[in-house]
Every structure is written in structure tokens, then in C-alpha cells.
């Protein structure tokens, strides 16, 4: 397929909550030598945690000004309001960017976003180099697409009136259906049998031959994912998804909110509270930055279900407000008051 060299290539990176998209992008920008990059980060929630993580890379080829955060809603639902102005902003940069990376929110459907590249004003300037779906190897090996999927699956099986998959499963299937490449993350935590099980679950959802690339800690050779030259916008209508017959879609099956907590004295105790909260309250994801008393460094927290990772990512800047703020994402109807109480305990 012929792609105009005057158009800036764009890679869409999609994937479920906590699968490892931000880690993958950070590794890409650290290893894409010689390319000037721009990144669009779409958060599901009011605080740009993933954008902050990427801005902390300090890589000359991708300066902070080239990282644009869209936190006004899912990018596939707000294409005209958010995505197109972001593209305009990036293409006005000097010197000209060589490649754009888009990290969608965990709830985004890639097809409506790729379809926006068919708009004449966009298509004349940008092309979709490829769509990469990032999937959680550990969860898939255990038969789920998310760490706390058991409750959702049990409810579906027990309710005979439900004759379709739950929304989380549909989001996963739509993301995989649009992908040109699948990155299977967290493979360092899997033995050979579990790795085979995870790959098998993904392959069961693939409507066509798509390469599955194993990755540990988000490490993938950029040459495998970048420079595919597929002009996906010209083929996207052939990629069938659950939402093809819908003029619009929403994410009413999920709730997202921000919780401010006090500075903590024990990072491990906080991690334990987050894990217990996620398990008890059907929370899909908790992420954010936290102040640890008497520590000069900022604590970054990333939780997928009851699995919690935390580490000090950087020093607090002079004069910076030391806020402890967590973004919580879960199934519709999760109990905010109960979650706040458990996190603050």
C-alpha cells in the first residue's frame, strides 16, 4: 500500500486498563533514535497520570511540549472536540515531528479514532502507520482480560437473561479486532504453559493473522512496531467490531473519580490498602502520585485489580505542591464512600 511521505505517520496504541501501554511507550521513545516524536495521551479520569509519567522521561527527541494530554473524555467519543485540535497543535510544531504516538484510554475503541483519519483535513496530513493492542499476559493466562474479572464473569454466568459478553470483554475484543500487532506484556511473570495459554486466548479473538509479540517490562524493538506503513485508515472498515452498527457509544458501564488522600508514612501499607480496596470494591484500576512523609521523592502508584506496583519516580520539584491524588476506575456503581474510607484507613 502506498503512503505519501509528506504525511506524518501515527501509531495508535490501545489496550485494556493497566495492560502496560504507558510502559511500552516510554520504552519506545527511549529507543526510537533519530526520530522527533509527539505523543497524545488520552486519560480516563480527571488527572493526567500517564502523561506525567511520560513527561518525566527527559528525552530530547520528545520534549514535554510535544506530549499532549486529553482528559476531557474517551478519545473515541470526543474526536472532533479533542483529537483534531491536538493533531493541529502537533503539526504546527517546529521542527516538524517525524512520528506521532497515540495512547488511548483503557476504555477507548480504536475504530472510531482511526476512522477520523479519513477526514480530508486529517488524511491529507497524517496517516495511521499501524494499530498496536497491548494485552495483559498474566490476566489472560488466568482466563481474564482484567485482574478482577472473576466477579464480572460469575455474574454473567449466573444470570440466564444475559445473552452477550460483558462490556469489559467487548472492549477487549474490539481493541484486538482492530490491531495490526499484539504486544503481550508481563511475560517475565509467566512460565511456558501460562505463556501458551495467554497467546491462545488472544488468538481465539483474532479475526485474521496478527503477530503476537511477547514483552517483559514493555521492552519491544521499535522496528517491530514502528514503520509498518499500513495506512490503516484505508482498511479500517474491514475490521469488524461489536459497535459497527452503532452511530455512537458511551462508557456508562464504568465510573471514574479522583480521591485526594493525606501524605502516608508507609508505602507498603498504602499498597496493601489499595490491593484490599480493589478486591473488595470491584475496582479495575487505581493510579496516581502520593507524598510519603519525610521523603524527598514522589511515590508513583499503579494498580491493576489487586496487583499493585509502586516506586519513587522523581524528586518533588522546589515549590511543587505535594498532593497525594489517586484516580479510581471501576465498574458502574462502585461505592466511592467505601473506597475513600478504605484508602484513608
What HEC string does the chain produce?
A: CCCCCCCEEEEEEEECCCCCHHHHHHHHHHHCCCCCEEEEEECCCCCCHHHHHHHCCCCCCCCHHHEEEECCCCCCCCHHHHHHHHHHHHHCCCCCCCEEEEECCCCCCHHHHHHHCCCHHHHCCEEEEEEEEEEEHHHHHCCCCCCCHHHHHHHHHHCCCCCCCCHHHHHHHHHHHCCCEEEEECHHHCCHHHHHHHHHHHHHHCCCCCEEEECECCECCHHHHCCCCCCHHHCHHHCCCCCCCCCCCCCCCEEEEEEECCCECCHHHHHHHHHHHHHHHCEEEEEEEEEECCCCEEEEEEEECCEEEEEEEEECCCCCCCCCEEEEEEECCCCHHHHHHHHHC
What's the pTM?
Answer: 0.66
What was the pLDDT predicted at 253? 56
What was the pLDDT predicted at 145? 80
More confident residue, 136 or 160: 136
Domains, the chain, ranges and CATH? Answer: 8-244 (3.40.50.300), 254-344 (3.30.1220.10)
Lowest mean pLDDT among 67-76, 147-156, 213-222, 326-335: 147-156
pLDDT digits (tens, 9 = 90+) for 296-316: 999 988 786 777 888 888 889
pLDDT band at 239 (very low <50, low <70, confident <90, very high): confident
Lowest mean pLDDT among 92-101, 109-118, 157-166: 157-166
Q: Would you say residue 61 has pLDDT above 60? A: no
Q: Would you say residue 181 has pLDDT above 70? A: yes
What was the pLDDT predicted at 30? 83
More confident residue, 324 or 56: 324
pLDDT band at 225 (very low <50, low <70, confident <90, very high): very high
More confident residue, 281 or 51: 281
Q: Would you say residue 53 has pLDDT above 50? A: no
**What is the mean predicted confidence (pLDDT) over 3-17?**
81
Amino acid at each position: 500500500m502506498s503512503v505519501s511521505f509528506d504525511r506524518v505517520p501515527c501509531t495508535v496504541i490501545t489496550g485494556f486498563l493497566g495492560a502496560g501501554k504507558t510502559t511500552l511507550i516510554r520504552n519506545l521513545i527511549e529507543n526510537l533514535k533519530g526520530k522527533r516524536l509527539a505523543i497524545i495521551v488520552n486519560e480516563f479520569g480527571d488527572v493526567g497520570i500517564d502523561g506525567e509519567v511520560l513527561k518525566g522521561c527527559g528525552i530530547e527527541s520528545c520534549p514535554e511540549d510535544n506530549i499532549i494530554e486529553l482528559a476531557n473524555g474517551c478519545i473515541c467519543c470526543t474526536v472532533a472536540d479533542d483529537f483534531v485540535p491536538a493533531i493541529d497543535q502537533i503539526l504546527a510544531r517546529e521542527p516538524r515531528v517525524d512520528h506521532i504516538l497515540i495512547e488511548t484510554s483503557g476504555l477507548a475503541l480504536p475504530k472510531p479514532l482511526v476512522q477520523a483519519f479519513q477526514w480530508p483535513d486529517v488524511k491529507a496530513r497524517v496517516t495511521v502507520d499501524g494499530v498496536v493492542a497491548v494485552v495483559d499476559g498474566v490476566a489472560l493466562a488466568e482466563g481474564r482480560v482484567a485482574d478482577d474479572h472473576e466477579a464480572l464473569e460469575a455474574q454473567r454466568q449466573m444470570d440466564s437473561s444475559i445473552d452477550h459478553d460483558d462490556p469489559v470483554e467487548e472492549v477487549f475484543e474490539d481493541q484486538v479486532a482492530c490491531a495490526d500487532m499484539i504486544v503481550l506484556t508481563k511475560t517475565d511473570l509467566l512460565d511456558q504453559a501460562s505463556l501458551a495459554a495467554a497467546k491462545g486466548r488472544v488468538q481465539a479473538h483474532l479475526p485474521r493473522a496478527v503477530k503476537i509479540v511477547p514483552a517483559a517490562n514493555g521492552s519491544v524493538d521499535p522496528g517491530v512496531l514502528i514503520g509498518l506503513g499500513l495506512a490503516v485508515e484505508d482498511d479500517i472498515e474491514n475490521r469488524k467490531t461489536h459497535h459497527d452498527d452503532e452511530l455512537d457509544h458511551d462508557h456508562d458501564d464504568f465510573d471514574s473519580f479522583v480521591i485526594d488522600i493525606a501524605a502516608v508514612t508507609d508505602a507498603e501499607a498504602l499498597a496493601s490498602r489499595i490491593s484490599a480496596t480493589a478486591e473488595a470494591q470491584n475496582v479495575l484500576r487505581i493510579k496516581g502520585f502520593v507524598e510519603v512523609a519525610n521523603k524527598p521523592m514522589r511515590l508513583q502508584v499503579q494498580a491493576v485489580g489487586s496487583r499493585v506496583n509502586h516506586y519513587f519516580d522523581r524528586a518533588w520539584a522546589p515549590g511543587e505542591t505535594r498532593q497525594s491524588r489517586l484516580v479510581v476506575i471501576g465498574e458502574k456503581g462502585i461505592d466511592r464512600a467505601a473506597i475513600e474510607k478504605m484508602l484513608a484507613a
